[in-house]
Structure 1
Amino acid sequence: MKIRFAAAAAIAIIVLCVIVFTMPPSESYQDPDTFWHIEVGNHILQDGKVPHTAVHTFYGDDKLPYVPHEMGFQIVIASLYKAFGWAGTYLLSAVCLLLLSLGLYRMMLVSRKELGFDSRGREPLLMLMLLPVIWGIYEIYFTTRPQMISAFLIVWFFVFLREFQMKQAVRYMILMPLISLLIANFHSGVWPVIIVFMGMALLESLFTRKLFNRRVGWKWLTVLLTVGGAGLLNVAGAKGVLFILTVTQDNFNLMINEWKAIQFNSMGNLTATLMLLTFIALLPFSIHKRFFRFQFMLGIFFLGVSNYKYHLFMWLFVLYFAAVVIQDVPGLRRFRLRLGSAPLIAGLVLGLAVNTVYNFQHTPQPNSFKYPVKEMDYIMETFKGPGRPKVMTLYGTSGYVMFRGADVLADGRQDPFITDETKTALGWTAFEQTINGFPVYVTDLVKANKPDFIIVTRKNASSRFYSTWVKDYGPAVKTGDFGYVFRTSPKGADE
């Protein structure tokens, strides 16, 4: 009893220390999309309706079609920000991390149960295996975006799906449609993933002939219909759950870094490379000639090497394969120390509580070297209206500029800004202009779009371009940590 208590306390302390010392709240901030999500959420809360056109743009708030596919997240994050400021947004990160960690642990238990392996006494090993994975997910992907919520929802859906395969209980027939509904309203762009998972499980049932059992068959049919139907219950309907078709139109998404293929030979991607090698090394010991595991492995491998965005799925599901490898490690085969999940839960809750308290006392603010903080301070102080100032800036900072109160050429969503209606300078869409226009074509963009201000980075302001801007617009009216502000029209000038 004393050994078990000491081991449980040690595990809880280890988990707590990992959370507090390697996963600080500051790591969950400074993503450019966060600002845009908060602003759209504020717009929804103020107007009482979800926008189906892009808001706060040069084109007005009712011109460019937009597919609202993250409405739930935007309302939650805007409400937390309104109530508690930046400290409040970490509350969502902490809750999501807790639910994801518990889901990953449950997934390991399910993986072992599928193969007939007893997990009693293996809990300490499984908990220690979990820690580097949740650290990696938090470090790379927990940046106050909808994927924080969809990550734990997808993992729990997978857990319930695998448990449903083993026992067709009614509770799973309720829980899976409920999760489908939540994903469709919080981050519908990833909703097709759970349909693919269901397709794999359905093929498994056909392969093992379970589906020919009448009792199993009608339950499967019910789950398919309810999960699919629940997904359609979102503000954008079918367009929402099929948003991937919109965002990949004409391959415009490949102009954004997170959609590009990962360079695994780069030291900057060492963490991703180590994950890929770990995943590959586990496969010979974790498939166990099971049809589902084989097809699931192919799917996760494909997603994991596709791009930075999809690489998250390799992190989410590597433990499904790793959990059963314990049986093949000589030194661990006989290890037994039954603890249950209490130490893990205690360590997670205490660690996240410490981080939350610290974050409320030392809340990170937007980085003035990464975002035009001081530059926007100047613009909002000097602009006299009417309306919002039209500020032209790079794609990566447009969300912050919009968040601060300006209209932008293109915000953090590409889909409204790749339409023919936005084509002006050089025949480019608004999205292409913000991606490719700086610094070479700034003067062309200004002539075509007529902003009130432009913000350029210090890096982009080389002597040749800077002298051209000074000649055309006069000296920079503001120099900040991020860059320079040029006034390109007399509207809103200091009186």
Structure 2
Amino acid sequence: MSISATHAVRRAIPLRAPLALWVGAFVYAAFVLAGNHLLIDPDTMWQVTVGRWILDHGTVPTVDVYSFTMRGQPWISTQWLAQVAYAEAFARAGWAGPVVLASFCIAATFGLLARFLSQRLSESTTLVLVAAALALTVPHLLARPHVLALPVMMAWIGGLVGAADRRGAPSFRLLPLMTLWANLHGGFVLGLALILPIAVDATWNARASQRQALALRWAAFALAALAASCVTPYGWNSLLASQKILGLGEALPLIMEWRPADFSCVGSLEICLLLGFGLALYRGISLPPTRIVLLLGMLHMALSQTRSLESFALLVPLFLASPLAKQIGGPDGAKPAIAMPRMPVAALAAALLAGTIAWAPLARFEPHTRGSPVAAVAELKKLNLGRVFNDYDFGGYLIANGVAPFIDGRTELYGERFFVEHNAASGLMKPENLFRLLDRYDIEATLMRTQSAATTLLDHMDGWQKIYSDDIATIHLRKPGAVHGIEPAVNPQAR
């Protein structure tokens, strides 16, 4: 009887959900419960629109079919697979579909992070690093294509770092991950770029007699990874598209997510950096030279571009795990430091599924449109106009509602000069730009933020009649003979 009991315990232990699964379950539940946070970016709507177009036409776009300024110009969507996934999820479950899909991928990302760390560090240290990563990435975790690529990034970089920790070369079985990443999001270029420094780390720490052979194996893997990244509908053009984005020059600092980190007020990045520096000074933690280079490189990216913050938060713990384990201790022994409840993995998954099904109808998931020109676009569509000069932030909402924009978030399509000219026109840094663009493109109406400088100027321009205004957007209609001083008043509609 005692022997049977012993065997029962041994069989039950593998069914106990490990820390990584509990982390994933917690993150999934948290994001599903706060699901509308994932939909606060109106760009999610046009991502679904593009995905629907791909499904309807059975092909991926190669030219612009949305704007009237760049219609027919070459344009590819390096995130086509993520757009299709969001569109299919939306078709099956409404906005609950993208929320659940994004939440699952976020949960998988942090579950993979916890799994990698817990194999090298104690559970308490793992949870601290996971919590820090979550705090840094929360503002960037939205139902957009990059979120679907995050678990692929974690598995890819985790595989590379794991090989470096073993002083070996990565398995070629990782290559399908690169192909998947290249079809989900243009960030796959980071995965290619990190092969070289991680390979240097692996060979640097290997025995002298093994370095040449190891370097050749890494080189072969790098070439295979480059080839795998080209297995997309666009071939090697996906690589060129990423290069085009990075070459936008003066346009990049004008886009919010490409701006450098702002330390004018205390934020999560500053807190994490100060605590990390303090811990390193207090404990005397040191890193190998190659890991220092990786850490500083990722830090530079995070400080120079806020969109790189999630890569910094998720990947730096992978680089630090093995060196930290040698100095502050490795995984816990037979008795975990943190007691986790025992639950079969299948039961945990079933509980999450049941909770999702019960919560989705009550949550009423829908995009956050408080900053979108909802009422203004409804009025604009009644006019049936084809050439509307719009605010940059309104472009995605126009695409999602079937109105051809002047400009939208696909900055790589419009190019540096076009974007900078539009920014100078809408902000009246160069007022002549506004008049030149209005005439060059034979603009019939404008849809700009009510508080913008361009809106204020048009309020006082003859030939432009204000026909709608609320606290978000204002429409001016080109109307020969209109005199601003005697035009009918428009009462703002509070929202």
Task: Please indicate the TM-score interval, normalised by the length of the shorter structure.
Answer: 0.7 to 0.9
Give the deviation of 1:201 after TM superposition: 2.5
The answer to whether structure 1 residue 475 and structure 2 residue 476 are counterparts is: no
1:465-491 deviation per Cα after TM superposition (whole angstroms, max 9, x unaligned):
25325x323231x3345222233379x
Aligned mates of 1:464, 1:16 — CA distance in 2: 50
1:418 partner SS: helix
| Aligned counterpart for 2:234 among listed residues 228, 233, 236 | 236
- Give me the whole-angstrom Cα distance separating, in 1, the residues matched to 2:23 and 2:202: 40
Q: 2:393 aligns with which of 375, 391, 396?
A: 396
Assess, with a 3 A threshold, how the Cα gap between structure 1 residues 383 and 243 changes in structure 2: closer, same or farther: same
Contact persistence 1:58–1:409 (CA under 8 A): yes
Alignment match, 1:377:
378
Aligned 8 A contact 2:261 2:302 in 1: no
Q: What's the secondary structure of 2:463's corresponding residue? A: helix
Q: Which amino acid aligns with 2:155?
A: W
TM score, norm. by length of structure 1: 0.78
> In the alignment, is the contact (CA less than 8 A) between 2:60 and 2:77 conserved in 1?
yes
Task: Output the CA distance in 1 between the equivalents of 2:372 and 2:133.
Answer: 30
Task: Write the distance in 1 (CA, Å) between the matches of 2:151 and 2:20.
Answer: 23
Determine whether 1:79 maps to 2:85: no
Whether the aligned pair in 1 keeps the contact of 2:446 and 2:476 (CA below 8 Å) is yes
CA contact (8 A) 2:20 2:111 kept: no
Provide the C-alpha distance between the structure 2 equivalents of 1:456 and 1:430, rounded to a whole number of angstroms. 17
Separation in 1, partners of 2:27, 2:203: 43
Asked whether the 8 Å contact 1:393–1:456 carries over to 2, the reply is yes
Aligned to 1:447: 439
Q: Which moved more, 1:236-245 or 1:26-35?
A: 236-245
In the alignment, is the contact (CA less than 8 A) between 2:39 and 2:143 conserved in 1? yes
Cα RMSD between the aligned structures? Answer: 3.9
Q: Is the 8 A contact 1:11 1:347 kept in 2?
A: no
Give the letter aligned to residue 126 of structure 2: L
- Counterpart of 1:192 (choices 189, 194, 197) is 189
Mapped contact 1:392–1:453 kept (Cα < 8 A): yes
Give 2:463's aligned amino acid.
D
1:395–1:411 contact (8 Å) kept in structure 2: yes
Identity of matched residues, %: 16
Cα offset for 1:347?
7.4
Whether the 8 Å CA contact 1:25–1:90 is kept in 2: the answer is yes
* Post-superposition offset of 1:343: 7.1
Tell me, in whole angstroms, the C-alpha distance in 2 between the residues paired with 1:410 and 1:342.
Answer: 53
Please list the CA deviations of residues 300-349 of structure 1 after superposition, one character each: whole Å capped at 9, or x if unmatched.
2222222201122221134333687588679x999952668977978798
Does residue 301 of structure 2 align to residue 296 of structure 1?
no
Cα distance, 1:102–1:474 mapped onto 2, change above 3 Å: same
Aligned residue among 48, 54, 57 for 1:38: 48
1:416-431 alignment runs, 5 A limit: 416-418=413-415, 429-431=417-419
2:103 maps to which of 91, 94, 111: 94
Alignment of 1:138-153 (within 5 A): 139-153=138-152
Question: Which is worse superposed, 299-308 or 458-467?
Answer: 458-467
Instruction: Return the alpha-carbon distance in structure 1 between the equivalents of residues 241 and 264 of structure 2.
Output: 31
Do the aligned residues in 2 keep the contact of 1:391 with 1:453 (CA within 8 Å)? yes
Are the equivalent residues in 1 in contact too, given 2:199–2:215 (CA < 8 A)? no
| Whole-Å separation in 1 of the counterparts to 2:60 and 2:108 | 27
Which residue does 2:484 correspond to in 1?
none
Partner AA of 1:436 in structure 2 = A
Q: Distance in 1 between matches of 2:67 and 2:380?
A: 16
Q: Which runs of 5+ in 2 are unaligned?
A: 1-8, 481-495
Q: Deviations over 1:187-216 (max 9, x none)?
A: 12x223222322122212332345854875
Indicate if the aligned counterparts of 1:475 and 1:486 stay in contact, CA closer than 8 A: yes
Q: Aligned partners of 1:166, 1:326: CA distance in 2, in Å? A: 12
Matched to 2:67, the amino acid is T
- Alpha-carbon distance in structure 2 between the residues aligned to 1:128 and 1:242: 39
Q: Deviations over 1:23-81 (max 9, x none)?
A: 7112111214323322222222222221222221113631x222432111111112222
Return the alpha-carbon distance in structure 2 between the equivalents of residues 221 and 13 of structure 1. 37
The verdict on how the C-alpha distance between 1:376 and 1:353 changes in structure 2, with shifts beyond 3 A counting, is farther
Code of the aligned partner of 2:225? V
Corresponding letter in the other structure for 1:263: D
Letter of the 1:130 counterpart = V
Kindly report which structure 2 residues correspond to 1:91-130, keeping only aligned pairs within 5 A, or say none. 91-110=100-119, 112=120, 122-123=122-123, 125-127=125-127, 129-130=129-130
**1:385-423: CA deviations, max 9, x gaps?**
7xxx3332111111111110011112211122127xxxx
How many equivalent residue pairs? Answer: 456
Question: Post-superposition shift, 1:444?
Answer: 4.3
Give the partner amino acid of 2:373: P
The separation in 2 between residues aligned to 1:193 and 1:236, in whole angstroms, is: 18
Q: Which residues in structure 2 correspond to 1:332-343 (within 5 Å)? A: 336-337=335-336
Aligned residue type for 1:226:
A
Shift of 1:106: 2.1
Distance 1:447-1:353 versus aligned 2 partners, 3 A rule: farther
The normalised TM-score by structure 2 is: 0.78
Question: Which whole-Å deviations, capped at 9, do the CAs of 1:125-184 have from their partners, x for residues lacking one?
Answer: 5235423532542x21111122212222111112111333355999x5243211111111
Quick one: distance in 2 between partners of 1:467 and 1:323?
62
* Equivalent position SS for 1:474: strand
Match of 1:205 in 2: 202
SS in 2 for 1:56: coil
Larger RCO (CA within 8 A; separation ≥ 6) = 1
SS in 2 for 1:96: helix
Go from structure 1 to structure 2 and tell me whether the alpha carbon gap of 1:463 and 1:454 turns closer, same or farther (over 3 Å shift): closer
Q: How far apart in 1 are the matches of 2:455 and 2:106?
A: 46
The AA in structure 2 aligned to 1:449 is Y
Q: Post-superposition shift, 1:356?
A: 6.6
Which of 286-295 and 88-97 deviates more? 286-295
* Preserved CA contact (<8 Å) 1:57 1:408: yes
CA distance in 2, matches of 1:301, 1:60: 36
Task: Give the match's secondary structure for 1:305.
Answer: helix
Deviation at 1:100, TM superposition (A): 0.2
Aligned to 1:358: 359
What secondary structure sits across from 2:447 in the alignment? strand
Distance 1:55 1:344, change over 3 A: farther
Paired residue type of 2:419:
F
